[in-house]
Structure 1
Amino acid sequence: MYATKDLSDAIDVTRAFLAGASFWTWIKLAVIVFFVGGVMSGTPPTPGGGGGEFGGEPTPGTGTDPGAAVGFGEMLPVLIGIAAIGLAIYLVFAFIGSLLEFALLESLRSGEVHVRRYTKRNLELGVRLFGFRLALILIALVVFGVPAYALYTTMEPNSAAFLGAIALLAIPVFLVYAVVNRFTTVFVAPTMLQEDLGVVAAWKRFRRTLAANWKEYLVYLLLVWIVQLGLAFALGIVFFIGFIILAIPLILIAFIPIIGILIVFLAIPFLLLLSSLVQVPVVVYLRYYALLVLGDTDAELDLVPDQRARVRGDVTTESGESDGWDSNGDHPDDGWDSDDDRPDDRPADEDGDDGTDSWSGPDHWDSSDEGDSGKDTDSPDSTDRWDDSDTDRDDDRSGW
Structure 2
Amino acid sequence: MSWYAIDAIDDALDASREFLFPFSLGRWARLALITFFVGGSGVGGQVSNLQNVGQVPTGPTGPTQPSPSIPTDPSTVTPELGGLALVVVVVVLLLVLALALISYTFEFVFVDAIAEDRVRVLGPFASRVGDGLRLFVFEFVVGLVSLLPFAVAGFLILFAGGPPGFNGFDALVGFFGSVGTAGTVAVVVLAAAWLVVTGLVTGFTRTFVVPVMVATGSGVLGGWRRLWPRLRDEWKQTLVYLVMHFFVGIGVGLVGLLLFLFGAVVVGIVALVVGLAAAAVTHGGNPMAGTGVGLLAGGVVFALLYFLFVFLPVGILTTTYVRTYELASLAGFDDAFDLLGPYRPDRRGPGGSGDGGVGATRDDGVDGPGGGTGGRVGDRSGEDDGFGGVTPADDGDDGGDDRRGGAGGGRTGTPAG
**What TM-score comes out, normalization by structure 1 length?**
0.68
- How far did 1:138 drift? 2.3
- Structure 2 vs 1, CA of residues 362 and 5 (structure 1 numbering), >3 Å: closer, same or farther? closer
**Partner residue, 2:321:** 285
- Structure 2 vs 1, CA of residues 297 and 335 (structure 1 numbering), >3 Å: closer, same or farther? closer
Q: Is the 8 A contact 2:353 2:407 kept in 1?
A: no
- Picking from 199, 211, 218, the partner of 1:178 is 199
**Partner residue, 1:101:** 107
- Picking from 218, 221, 229, the partner of 1:208 is 229
Higher relative contact order (CA 8 A, sep 6+): 1
State how far apart, in whole Å, the 1-side matches of 2:227 and 2:385 are.
35
Does the alignment pair 1:127 with 2:133?
yes
- How far did 1:384 drift? 7.5
- How far did 1:176 drift? 2.6
Runs of at least 5 residues in structure 1 that lack an aligned partner in the other structure? 317-321, 337-345, 368-372, 386-400
State how far apart, in whole Å, the 1-side matches of 2:69 and 2:147 are.
31
State how far apart, in whole Å, the 2-side matches of 1:325 and 1:94 are.
39
Does the alignment pair 1:55 with 2:58?
yes
How many residues in Structure 1 have an aligned counterpart in Structure 2?
348
State how far apart, in whole Å, the 2-side matches of 1:324 and 1:374 are.
16
- How far did 1:378 drift? 3.7
Residue by residue over 1:180-236, the C-alpha shift from the partner in whole angstroms, topping out at 9 and shown as x without a partner, is 122111111111112211111211111111111221121111111122123223333
Residue by residue over 1:102-153, the C-alpha shift from the partner in whole angstroms, topping out at 9 and shown as x without a partner, is 1111111111111112222333212211221222222223233333444556
State how far apart, in whole Å, the 2-side matches of 1:361 and 1:177 are.
38
Runs of at least 5 residues in structure 2 that lack an aligned partner in the other structure? 160-167, 178-183, 279-288, 355-359, 394-399
Q: Is the 8 A contact 1:44 1:141 kept in 2?
A: no
Q: Calculate percent identity across the aligned residue pairs.
A: 24
**Partner residue, 2:284:** none
Structure 1 or 2, whichever has the larger Rg, is 2
- Structure 2 vs 1, CA of residues 2 and 366 (structure 1 numbering), >3 Å: closer, same or farther? same
State how far apart, in whole Å, the 2-side matches of 1:243 and 1:159 are.
49
One-letter code aligned to 2:11? D
**Partner residue, 1:11:** 13
- Structure 2 vs 1, CA of residues 301 and 69 (structure 1 numbering), >3 Å: closer, same or farther? farther
- Picking from 188, 195, 216, the partner of 2:216 is 195
- Structure 2 vs 1, CA of residues 363 and 60 (structure 1 numbering), >3 Å: closer, same or farther? same
- Structure 2 vs 1, CA of residues 335 and 203 (structure 1 numbering), >3 Å: closer, same or farther? closer
SS in 2 for 1:324: helix
SS in 1 for 2:351: coil
State how far apart, in whole Å, the 1-side matches of 2:390 and 2:412 are.
24
Q: Is the 8 A contact 2:260 2:314 kept in 1?
A: no
Residue by residue over 1:324-372, the C-alpha shift from the partner in whole angstroms, topping out at 9 and shown as x without a partner, is 3399xxxx97599xxxxxxxxx9999999677966766645799xxxxx
State how far apart, in whole Å, the 2-side matches of 1:117 and 1:210 are.
33
- Structure 2 vs 1, CA of residues 46 and 94 (structure 1 numbering), >3 Å: closer, same or farther? same
**Partner residue, 2:50:** 44
Q: Which moved more, 1:112-121 or 1:142-151?
A: 142-151
**Partner residue, 2:408:** 379
Q: Is the 8 A contact 2:108 2:128 kept in 1?
A: yes
- How far did 1:95 drift? 0.5
- Picking from 230, 249, 252, the partner of 1:228 is 249
Q: Is the 8 A contact 1:23 1:358 kept in 2?
A: no
**Partner residue, 2:4:** 2
- Structure 2 vs 1, CA of residues 36 and 333 (structure 1 numbering), >3 Å: closer, same or farther? same
**Partner residue, 1:325:** 352
State how far apart, in whole Å, the 2-side matches of 1:198 and 1:348 are.
35
State how far apart, in whole Å, the 1-side matches of 2:54 and 2:248 are.
37
Residues 132-171 of structure 1 mapped to structure 2, 5 A cutoff: 132-150=138-156, 152=158, 154-156=168-170, 171=192
Q: Which moved more, 1:124-133 or 1:107-116?
A: 124-133
Q: Is the 8 A contact 2:109 2:121 kept in 1?
A: yes
- How far did 1:33 drift? 0.7
- How far did 1:90 drift? 2.8
State how far apart, in whole Å, the 2-side matches of 1:169 and 1:117 are.
45
Does the alignment pair 1:306 with 2:342?
yes
**What TM-score comes out, normalization by structure 2 length?**
0.65
- How far did 1:281 drift? 1.4
SS in 2 for 1:17: helix
- Structure 2 vs 1, CA of residues 285 and 102 (structure 1 numbering), >3 Å: closer, same or farther? same
- Picking from 10, 19, 22, the partner of 1:20 is 22
- How far did 1:29 drift? 0.8
One-letter code aligned to 1:32? I
Q: Is the 8 A contact 1:194 1:303 kept in 2?
A: yes
One-letter code aligned to 1:302? D
Q: Is the 8 A contact 1:27 1:277 kept in 2?
A: no
